[in-house]
Structure 1
């Protein structure tokens, strides 16, 4: 029989779900089109530092062809919204290092010259991110790339089926556990293409759970958590990473009101435990200003400026942290 303490924790976890829904539901569009057919992706060769330019050029061309084929299939299926999203993604100015339109879709879009970059940031998004709702992720990547300036590259990594904020999966680590190997493999590829670059993973909301699961042995200099509900780990030491772990929380982000609990039930674990900006977690905190849950990479914001400084290997500017 559950104890009174367990019932109290369960109530707090359910409250977390309600608060989380208030954060994301107003921004959510239609559900991900997971049933839309798409062709299998083309077989792509490995990325190598010695032939990086030709390797990525071949990737960009093959993936553009793949997007166009997926667009035709989506249109034939009658999903005009998916077809429109893919049509935008197939623009000749866009550069996809990876694309798979099946099962909801996966992609990795590059801003900047990957093969000449000294600083590379991989953005790992949170819940309700899909091709149809991709604009927020790409806008953040564009803003960060502009903030970083020359000899930088930013990669918008939509590499896993993000959970819906209206589903139980957003309260459990199951999607993150499945996504972590894909993130490790992708970062390993980027590191092979540009081994001299400083690589950081920037992890928003549920994406911080993904990054935490992938952290051990990940060849990155920094892991940046922002708008995080927790990572599923008690502290930085449990991540088993040599990277510097940073955490930031905006003053207007409702995720700060989510109870940071982790409740282990017979068939599922709910919640993600320690608040990453708390002293107990042990991350280095950075000022995120008055950012709301989806505002961390807004042009001109304190949070964007400080995240860019971290990617560059510089200390964030001094200011008030919301911890």
Structure 2
């Protein structure tokens, strides 16, 4: 490509990004202000969990979700009450739960303490307590696939980590690293503590979807993670996989029908914050191991029976030579 054309495309990308940012800055405050605050209890007061105290933590957090459901119902918010109530049933394993505001929680699927392979899934924009079941179903889809694909005698677990306030898809925050900067310390703390909940030799994969990949990019340096997977990523804020400073193998995929392909891959300083996320993780210059995601749209990477889900399971199980590469 000619140098002049590269400059033109870069400037056009910046203009497009600024146009979305300005639109979001006008629209989002009007829509976000329409929902009143929902009362909820403070999180359960618990000591840091260990493998031996997991069941105690699950029970305490379920009880907290049940109380939050009653408070939301008394407030007149039937939707939030139902979302909290679904989390309070005996089958749910809530490692952490905070029903205040948009809500934050960490849920375990499977036997975390004895798993040979653990996948931690980090969601992208528009994920909250009100939309959590959609995220839960993605994690459950992966867990079912792992259970069916794992060799006999191999135990697996999936952790759905909603440990941050995600940006709205149509918002100014979704175009900046601010929410990721806020979320990264919490994700790092969780991943460092995860080893106290698993066996020392457990194979840990970090699966990051959409804006969640920005969070992971901010958090992953120096962490004890074996695989880092970037799904439908707008960028990580890093210029290359090496710049992430992780010992993990770095993977990336984008489905053929994922609209994130149209997001300009630029990063500029604007009004004291960083707008855009830089290098495309599926580009050769980034240096990730790019794998096939088929015709996946932006929300389809965990769809049952899909090419992307099969490859994700192979990565989580450490069957890396079986992954179909793009």
Same fold by TM-score, threshold 0.5 exceeded?
yes
5 Å-filtered alignment, 1:226-305, equals 226-305=231-310
Unaligned runs of 5+ in 2: 1-6, 25-30, 148-153
Map of 1:191 onto structure 2: 195
- Distance of 2:318 and 2:21 partners within structure 1: 35
Structure 1 residues 289-298 or 35-44, which shifts more?
35-44
Map of 2:111 onto structure 1: 113
Kindly indicate whether the alpha-carbon contact (under 8 Å) linking 1:34 and 1:104 is maintained by their aligned counterparts in 2: no
Residue 267 of structure 1 deviates from its aligned partner by 2.0
- Distance of 1:313 and 1:5 partners within structure 2: 39
Map of 2:134 onto structure 1: 136
Say whether 1:177 aligns with 2:175.
no
**1:32-59 per-position Cα deviation (integer Å, ceiling 9, x unaligned):** 96721211112212233xxx1x310010
- Distance of 1:31 and 1:123 partners within structure 2: 29
Give the TM-score of the pair, scaled to structure 1: 0.89
Map of 1:45 onto structure 2: 47
Change (3 A) 1:102 1:109: same
Match of 2:90 among 64, 89, 92: 92
Residue 90 of structure 1 deviates from its aligned partner by 0.8
Match of 2:155 among 140, 151, 158: 151
Give the TM-score of the pair, scaled to structure 2: 0.88
**1:210-243 per-position Cα deviation (integer Å, ceiling 9, x unaligned):** 0000011121101100110111111112111111
Change (3 A) 1:260 1:197: same
- Distance of 1:287 and 1:233 partners within structure 2: 22
Kindly indicate whether the alpha-carbon contact (under 8 Å) linking 1:15 and 1:259 is maintained by their aligned counterparts in 2: no
Residue 266 of structure 1 deviates from its aligned partner by 3.2
Unaligned runs of 5+ in 1: 21-28
- Distance of 1:83 and 1:193 partners within structure 2: 30
- Distance of 2:312 and 2:34 partners within structure 1: 29
Kindly indicate whether the alpha-carbon contact (under 8 Å) linking 2:232 and 2:255 is maintained by their aligned counterparts in 1: yes
Match of 2:56 among 45, 55, 58: 58
Kindly indicate whether the alpha-carbon contact (under 8 Å) linking 1:12 and 1:259 is maintained by their aligned counterparts in 2: yes
The secondary structure found in structure 1 opposite 2:58 is helix
The secondary structure found in structure 1 opposite 2:217 is helix
Greater relative contact order (Cα < 8 A, sep 6+): 1
5 Å-filtered alignment, 1:2-13, equals 8-13=12-17
- Distance of 2:140 and 2:246 partners within structure 1: 28
Match of 2:213 among 201, 208, 212: 208
Kindly indicate whether the alpha-carbon contact (under 8 Å) linking 1:118 and 1:151 is maintained by their aligned counterparts in 2: yes
- Distance of 1:15 and 1:303 partners within structure 2: 32
The secondary structure found in structure 1 opposite 2:66 is helix
Change (3 A) 1:317 1:290: farther
The secondary structure found in structure 2 opposite 1:35 is coil
Kindly indicate whether the alpha-carbon contact (under 8 Å) linking 2:289 and 2:325 is maintained by their aligned counterparts in 1: no
Change (3 A) 1:39 1:197: same
Residue 315 of structure 1 deviates from its aligned partner by 1.7
The secondary structure found in structure 1 opposite 2:214 is helix
CA RMSD of aligned residues (A): 2.5
- Distance of 1:217 and 1:34 partners within structure 2: 40
Change (3 A) 1:156 1:316: farther
Kindly indicate whether the alpha-carbon contact (under 8 Å) linking 2:94 and 2:108 is maintained by their aligned counterparts in 1: yes
